Amino acid sequence: MEQHLYSRIANQMQQHIREGIYKAEDKLPSVRALAKQQQASVSTILAAYGLLEDWGVIEVRPKSGYYVRRNLSKAPEAPSIIQTTNTPEEVSTPDLVMEVIRDSSSPDLISFGAAVPADDFPVINQLKRIFSQKVRTEPFIGIGYDSGKGSDPLRRQLARRAIDAGILVSPEDIVISEGCQAAVGLCLRALSKPGDIVAVETPSYYGLLQLIEALGLKAIEIPSNAEHGMSIEALKLAFEQWPINIVLSIPCFSNPVGALMPDENKQALLDLIYQYDVPLIEDDIYGDLGYGSQRPKALKAFDSKGQVLLCSSVSKTLEPQLGIGWVMPGKYFKLIEYQKFLSSTGSFRLPQMAVAEFLAGGGYDRHLRLAREAYRQRRDRLADLISLHFPEGTRMSSPQGGFVAWIQLPKGIASTKLYKQAREHHILIAPGEIFSSDPKKYPHSIRISYANSWTTEREDAIQTLGQLAKQQITMSSP
Ligand SMILES: Cc1ncc(COP(=O)(O)O)c(C=O)c1O
């Protein structure tokens, strides 16, 4: 309990420093004053100040007290993302994608590579308990095929939860899939033919790009902004120039940047797809993981014509092993239901039953509160570590939800080389080249997944990455 308190106080103090309430070189409250203010013991405050010292945020000056560090590193600036006009491209299949995927589950690596939720939340044990109870009490096998759309109770729960995202949908209008990627696959298969053009934001999650490639489609990459996501202006220009067939976007906490599209841009994006009469596939996999007090509205919430197909899963909020995703396909329901039948005739009911029960209780909301706050703090810590250890000029996106950030390194640093060097030190990162159809588009960027808690080993790994990056600059300078 005490231990929890000191790290809470340290985080709160760090937040005050970030917000400028205490500036560089400011004297902090004395240990006794803070203990009184926080109604905590002196030893708790000493532990909190100790943690802030370890983080490099404050320093102790003998016989004087605690001060915000003079050379306190500023939060890294947001990355600038390429804003050139693009042409529709076939996505190449870089072997690198599969290398990163294979390495992601390796227990020998310190992983910042795959976007996997944290492993230190109580939710896993809670789910295990529900699973064992269901195994004992429910007929989960020997019941033949299900309806094809997936379990009724799960679809009911998803329809209830969709209200939080501003969506009114009937359980009958939801199709369960084996994950979010499978859901997007169903939509692309249902709505496109080889050679069609899909507009996606850039940089974009490599799994979506590889799906586009596998289906013989072309991607037109629409520049995006680290804060607001896909540029509506650029999309408008692309529509004027190319016969775009589908738009595919991650409006709420994009991967790899973590951008959140403002509601007015969501509306403007919808106006465009209505004007050109094309469907929009919304990947909302991180939508429940915002750090703000309100869950952002999904783009689908603004869709009056049923032209948005929302895809999501529990892979980021609960656990990827559950293999549960869904599509809310709007007016394309029948097409998606048919694709689901073509792709898999029966799905394993047990995980669907367990997740439905978890969503029905208060456990999911409690878990989300915990996860959102933990991820916010872990993002802040990553920003501090990048400022402390990475070369000057390094930029980092500041996601307001989810748990991946985009790091833009100074020009002298080749991110794929850094990825390979890091690998030799048993550290996994995701190199920029896999986030575009053009492997040369992001030669100096990497994605870091910061879901897991900051252990000494993980902090040291970031320091090692920073050193490797600095060495590359030294070696390339004349
Ligand atoms: C934006 C995005 N969509 C889809 C996926 C894949 O989701 P799932 O594991 O549910 O198939 C990921 C996983 O990293 C993702 O980041």
For the cut 50, the answer to whether the pLDDT of residue 1 exceeds it is no
Record the tokens describing residue 63, joined without a space.
């016989």
Using alpha carbons, select from 475, 389, 409, 427 the residue that is nearest to residue 112. Answer: 427
**Any idea which of 71-80, 208-217, 314-323 has the lowest mean pLDDT?**
71-80
Both ends of the chain: CA-CA distance in Å? 55
Whole-number Å distance, alpha carbon 190 to ligand 1 midpoint, is 19
* Residues contacting residue 265 through CB under 8 Å, at least 6 positions apart: 228, 229, 230, 232
Q: Which mutation among 100, 176, 181, 289 tests ligand 1's pocket best, with the greatest number of atoms within 8 A of CB?
A: 181
Using alpha carbons, select from 242, 182, 190, 254 the residue that is nearest to residue 218. Answer: 242
Ligand 1 pocket check for 204: Cβ under 6 Å: no
| CA–CA distances in Å: residue 262 to residues 94, 202, 230, 302 | 33, 17, 10, 12
What is the average per-residue pLDDT within 183-199? 97
**CA Rg value for the chain:** 23
Q: Where are the domains of the chain?
A: 2-68, 95-120+365-476, 141-362
Closest residue to atom 1 of ligand 1, CA basis: 255
Q: Which mutation among 260, 316, 404, 448 tests ligand 1's pocket best, with the greatest number of atoms within 8 A of CB?
A: 316
Q: CB atoms < 10 A from the CB of 238, how many? A: 23
Per the prediction, the chain carries an average pLDDT of 90
Record the tokens describing residue 267, joined without a space.
């509306």
pLDDT level of residue 61 (50, 70, 90 thresholds): confident
DSSP state of 64: T
Closest residue to atom 6 of ligand 1, CA basis: 181
pLDDT level of residue 473 (50, 70, 90 thresholds): confident
Whole-number Å distance, alpha carbon 321 to ligand 1 midpoint, is 12
CATH class of 141-362: alpha beta
Q: How far apart are CA 263 and CA 260, in angstroms?
A: 9
Ligand 1 pocket check for 283: Cβ under 6 Å: yes
Specify the fold of 2-68: Arc Repressor Mutant, subunit A (1.10.10)
pLDDT level of residue 83 (50, 70, 90 thresholds): low
In order, the DSSP letters of 31-69 are HHHHHHHHT--HHHHHHHHHHHHHTTSEEEETTTEEEE-
pLDDT level of residue 95 (50, 70, 90 thresholds): confident
Q: Which mutation among 255, 281, 355, 403 tests ligand 1's pocket best, with the greatest number of atoms within 8 A of CB?
A: 255
CATH code given to domain 95-120+365-476? 3.90.1150.10
Ligand 1 pocket check for 317: Cβ under 6 Å: no
Bridge partners, 89 (sequence order): 219
pLDDT level of residue 75 (50, 70, 90 thresholds): low
The H or E element containing residue 452 is: none
Ligand 1 pocket check for 244: Cβ under 6 Å: no
pLDDT level of residue 87 (50, 70, 90 thresholds): confident
Whole-number Å distance, alpha carbon 417 to ligand 1 midpoint, is 26
Q: Are 264 and 215 in contact (CB under 8 A)?
A: no
Q: How far apart are CA 98 and CA 110, in angstroms?
A: 18
Type of residue numbered 218 = K
Ligand 1 pocket check for 325: Cβ under 6 Å: yes
Domains 2-68 and 95-120+365-476 equal at CATH topology level: no
Higher pLDDT, 433 or 138: 433
Whole-number Å distance, alpha carbon 327 to ligand 1 midpoint, is 13
Q: Where are the beta strands (DSSP E) in 152-279?
A: 175-177, 197-202, 218-225, 229-230, 246-249
Q: How far apart are CA 257 and CA 255, in angstroms?
A: 5
Q: Which mutation among 313, 317, 403 tests ligand 1's pocket best, with the greatest number of atoms within 8 A of CB?
A: 313
Q: Are 427 and 414 in contact (CB under 8 A)?
A: no
Type of residue numbered 53 = E
For the cut 50, the answer to whether the pLDDT of residue 48 exceeds it is yes
Q: Determine the atom of ligand 1 nearest the C-alpha atom of 115.
A: 14
Higher pLDDT, 11 or 386: 386
What is the average per-residue pLDDT within 310-317? 98
pLDDT in tens, 326-365: 999 999 999 999 999 998 877 788 899 999 999 998 889 9
Q: Are 112 and 431 in contact (CB under 8 A)?
A: no
How long a stretch of residues is the chain? 478
